[in-house]
Amino acid sequence: MLRALTGWRVAEAVTFGGGSAMANQAIEVIEDADWAAPPPRIALIQDGSQPPITEHLRFLRAVRAAAGDYAQIVLALVGDPDGDDPLPPIDAFDFSDWQRKIEQMADPYLRLEMLAPGEPGAADEEDR
Amino acid sequence: MAADCPTLAIMGHPNAGKSSVVATLTENDRIAIDKRAGTTTRSDKYPVIIDGVTIMEFIDTPGFQNPSDILEWFQTHPREPDLARAFVEVHRGDPLFSHDCELLEPVADGAGIILVVDGSKRIKEKDRIEMELLRLTARPRMAILNNLTRIDKHMSAWQDALNKAFNSVREFNAHRATYAERIALLSALKSIDQRWEPRLTQVIDSFERDWERRIEASVDTIIELMKRSLVYKATRLVRVADLETQVDRGQVQERLREAFMDGLRQLEEEAQAEVRSHFRHNVWNVPPDSLLRQDLFSEEVGEALGLSKAKMIAAAAAGGATTGLGIDLALAGGSLGLGALIGAAAGGTVGLLGGAAVAKVDIQRTLGVERFTIGPVTNPRFPFILLDRIILYCARAMNWSHGRQAADEENPNKVPERDFKRKRGFTESLPADDRKALAKFFEAAKKGRDSNQEERCRESLATVLRGLSTSELDDRVDL
Beta pairing class for B44-50 and B112-117: unpaired
Domains and CATH numbers, chain B: 7-174 (3.40.50.300), 215-469 (no CATH)
Residue B188 confidence (pLDDT) above 70: yes
Q: Does A85 touch chain B (CB under 8 A)?
A: no
How far apart (Å, rounded) are the C-alpha atoms in residues B12 and B166? Answer: 13
* Contact criterion met (CB < 8 Å) for B65 and A53: yes
DSSP state of B177: -
What is the structure's pLDDT at B109? Answer: 95
How far apart (Å, rounded) are the C-alpha atoms in residues B273 and B284? Answer: 11
Q: Which stretch of DSSP H or E encloses residue A55?
A: helix A54-67
Each residue's pLDDT, cut to its tens digit, for chain A (128 residues) gives 888 888 888 888 999 988 889 999 999 999 999 888 889 999 999 999 989 999 999 999 999 999 999 999 999 999 988 777 778 889 898 999 999 999 999 999 999 999 865 544 444 444 44
Calculate how close chain A gets to B299, using CA atoms only, in Å: 40
* Contact criterion met (CB < 8 Å) for B66 and A55: yes
- Strand order of the β-sheet with B369-377 is B234-239, B369-377, B359-366, B340-346
What is the structure's pLDDT at B48? Answer: 86
> What is the three-class DSSP state of A75?
strand
pLDDT band at B423 (very low <50, low <70, confident <90, very high): low
Convert the pLDDT of each residue in B217-241 to its tens digit: 999 999 999 999 999 999 999 998 8
How far apart (Å, rounded) are the C-alpha atoms in residues B180 and B131? Answer: 28
What is the structure's pLDDT at B157? Answer: 94
Neighbours of B449 (CB within 10 A): 9
pLDDT band at B28 (very low <50, low <70, confident <90, very high): confident
What is the structure's pLDDT at B208? Answer: 92
Calculate how close chain A gets to B411, using CA atoms only, in Å: 17
- CB-based contacts of B392, cutoff 8 Å, min separation 6: B291, B292, B305, B425, B426, B476, B479
How far apart (Å, rounded) are the C-alpha atoms in residues B211 and B50? Answer: 11
Strand spans (E) along chain A: 41-47, 72-78, 110-114
Burial of B4 (0-12, 13-18, 19+ CB in 10 A): exposed
- Phi, psi dihedral angles at A41 (to 5 degrees): -125, 125
Q: Is the pTM of this model over 0.80?
A: no
Q: For residues B294 and B394, is the Cβ–Cβ distance under 8 A?
A: no
pLDDT band at B372 (very low <50, low <70, confident <90, very high): very high
Calculate how close chain B gets to A16, using CA atoms only, in Å: 11
What is the structure's pLDDT at B156? Answer: 94
CB nearest to B35's CB, from A17, A80, A93: A93
Burial of B250 (0-12, 13-18, 19+ CB in 10 A): exposed
Q: Which of the pair, B404 or B62, is modelled with greater confidence? A: B62
Interface test with A, best of B34, B61, B68, B70 (most A CBs within 10 A): B68
Q: Which of residues 34-53 of A touch B (CB under 8 A)?
A: 47, 49-53
* Contact criterion met (CB < 8 Å) for A54 and B99: yes
Calculate how close chain B gets to A103, using CA atoms only, in Å: 15
